[in-house]
Amino acid sequence: MPNTSIMTFNILSILPVLILAGFGMMVLVVDVLSSRKMGEKNFLAYLSLIGVVIAAFLSKNFTGTTLFSFYGAYTIDNYSLFFQFVFLLCAGLTILISKNYVQRENINYGEYYTLILFSTIGMILMASGADLLNIFIGLEIMSISIYILVGMKRTRLTSNEASLKYFLLGAFSTGFLLYGIALVYGATGTISLRQIAVFIAGKGGVLDPLLLAGMGLIIVGIGFKIASAPFHAWVPDVYEGAPTAITAFMAVGPKAAGFAAFLRIFFIAFGQVHQDWEKIIWILAVLTMTTGNIIALIQTNIKRMLAYSSIAHAGYLLIALVAANNMSVSAILFYLLAYLFMNIGAFAIVIVISQKEDSFLKISDFSGLAYKHPRLAIAMTLFLLSMAGIPPTAGFVGKFYIFSSAIKSGYVLLAIIGVINSVIAVFYYLRVTVAMYMRGPEREFQPLTLSPFIFVAIIISIIGTIQLGIFPAKVLEIAQRSILLLR
């Protein structure tokens, strides 16, 4: 492990970030200069998609390299590259499912795509930041972009409410995080994760109260971003009020970024004091899973149901965090990728089914879908089964690795609670499937207008879900290689 990091000012290392920023601004300028009507500005989506693809290729070039640039503030290793890939894929898929949606909902602003790109920058910074300051600034860029994206549909009251709610609570939680960082800095005199680890090792692995308080506050701050209970109260309202494409984005992106930062901070900086935080996270994990799954049972709105299911998924991911072994990192990486595909796929179908002004979002609106649009129903079923963790889907493999990592570290009870929760979850996922297949249509289904964009997004999600479920080995191998520098 190269402790003496290469302290270079290497601007090439942030090339993907620069490309995203450049394209983000280009979209803004092009939007202003174009004289076309808002609904006809197709090029905004094309342009931002090109930016994401270029950034993905550039970050692919770094595979296998390990470097510390910007005086050790920015890390490129397999771990951060894996996350970069997840974020860029998430942004790309979101743009694909957004294009027709934003035109339908009359929010086809250049800013929409710019903010998606910028929030991806924030996520990349969170995954690559080697010190608390970078992680914090990344988190802020990501969150502020998403606050705005949530409120983008200004004419709809729920969207405003969601944005305001998310902003106020988010700002509050950011305060917790920042205070935690300040306390950690006060205790250790450094913000670099490695230096904090060195400091703790110097103290023989005992935390002084200042550091302990700081760590607790950091857990609160990031726990909010990954929507873990008891910091989850915002999730259902915000997910419901946000434009559906943004809901898909924020269900995956910030959660993944939050876990990226969570893992880096708690495995690198606080890795030696695992016994000090495992119990807190243990409780968080159980609370999060159980709350999410139980409340999801009684939801009638599909977006709210998926919101609670996303809380539950954060709980499963926390199990692996508690386990804190090498397997758990790869399990989290794998699970996040799987979650990306199944979640965005499910939301894509919600977008296709719903009509203008986000109507028809009740679960009962899905009844009889299988008779009218059998292929859509099959895809939706696939995504829901994957979320429920039923083989041979990606969700099953992901859950399997998470639970086995917990058992490997001796957290058998936690694994059992996780499995029980998965069983509960099957019920509400199946409810939608039952509605689609076993009930007659309760409403007139419009003839399907599946644009090529959303079609491609759904296809990618299906392939991802099945591929990861049947042939997980290759991705797992990549995920396992991505952990080398963590501990």
Please identify, using beta-carbon distances, which residue of 17 and 235 lies nearer to another protein. Answer: 17
Question: CA 47, CA 26: separation in Å to the nearest integer?
Answer: 8
Crossing angle (nearest 10°) for helices 302-323 and 326-353: 170
| Short-list 338, 327, 336, CA closest to 469 | 338
What pairs with residue 362 in β-bridges?
301
Which residue type, as a one-letter code, is found at position 73?
A
* Distance in Å, CB of 441 to another protein, minimum: 34
Confirm if 158 and 241 have CB atoms less than 8 A apart.
yes
* Distance in Å, CB of 438 to another protein, minimum: 42
* Distance in Å, CB of 330 to another protein, minimum: 28
Question: CA 218, CA 283: separation in Å to the nearest integer?
Answer: 16
Please identify, using beta-carbon distances, which residue of 160 and 326 lies nearer to another protein. Answer: 160
* Distance in Å, CB of 127 to another protein, minimum: 14
**Element (H or E) spanning 74, and its range?**
strand 74-76
Please identify, using beta-carbon distances, which residue of 114 and 393 lies nearer to another protein. Answer: 114
Q: Residue 191 in 3-state DSSP?
A: coil
Please identify, using beta-carbon distances, which residue of 208 and 477 lies nearer to another protein. Answer: 208
Please identify, using beta-carbon distances, which residue of 70 and 308 lies nearer to another protein. Answer: 70
CA dist list (Å): 84 to 136, 149, 286, 370: 17, 21, 29, 36
* Distance in Å, CB of 187 to another protein, minimum: 8
* Distance in Å, CB of 118 to another protein, minimum: 5
Please identify, using beta-carbon distances, which residue of 125 and 353 lies nearer to another protein. Answer: 125
- Calculate the CA dihedral of residues 394, 395, 401, 403 and round it to 10 degrees: -170
Phi, psi angle pair for 86, to nearest 5°? -60, -45
Please identify, using beta-carbon distances, which residue of 17 and 387 lies nearer to another protein. Answer: 17
**How many DSSP H helices and E strands does the chain contain?**
19, 2
* Distance in Å, CB of 25 to another protein, minimum: 8
* Distance in Å, CB of 74 to another protein, minimum: 5
What is the largest distance, in Å, between two alpha-carbon atoms of the chain?
A: 69
Taking the chain, what is the end-to-end CA distance rounded to the nearest angstrom?
Answer: 9
Q: In the complex, which residues of this chain contact another protein (CB under 8 A)?
A: 9, 14, 21, 28, 70-71, 73-74, 109, 111, 114-115, 118, 121-122, 125, 133-134, 137-138, 140-141, 144-145, 147-148, 151-152, 154-155, 163, 186-189, 208-210
**Element (H or E) spanning 328, and its range?**
helix 326-353
**Other C-beta atoms lying within 10 Å of the C-beta of residue 401:** 23
Please identify, using beta-carbon distances, which residue of 234 and 403 lies nearer to another protein. Answer: 234
Question: Considering just the CA atoms, what is the radius of gyration of the chain in Å?
Answer: 21
* Distance in Å, CB of 344 to another protein, minimum: 23
**Other C-beta atoms lying within 10 Å of the C-beta of residue 356:** 9
Please identify, using beta-carbon distances, which residue of 28 and 424 lies nearer to another protein. Answer: 28
Residue whose pair of structure tokens reads 């499912």 in the numeric block: 97
Please identify, using beta-carbon distances, which residue of 65 and 300 lies nearer to another protein. Answer: 65
Please identify, using beta-carbon distances, which residue of 234 and 396 lies nearer to another protein. Answer: 234
* Distance in Å, CB of 226 to another protein, minimum: 21
Please identify, using beta-carbon distances, which residue of 163 and 293 lies nearer to another protein. Answer: 163
* Distance in Å, CB of 63 to another protein, minimum: 22
Class of residue 275 by CB neighbours under 10 A (exposed 0-12, middle 13-18, buried 19+): exposed
Question: CA 66, CA 56: separation in Å to the nearest integer?
Answer: 17
What pairs with residue 427 in β-bridges?
none
Q: 5-8: list long-range contacts, CB under 8 Å, 24+ apart.
A: 5/68, 5/72, 6/67, 6/68, 6/69, 7/68, 7/71, 7/72, 8/67, 8/68, 8/69
* Distance in Å, CB of 211 to another protein, minimum: 11
Alpha helix segments (H runs only) across 61-156: 78-104, 110-128, 132-150
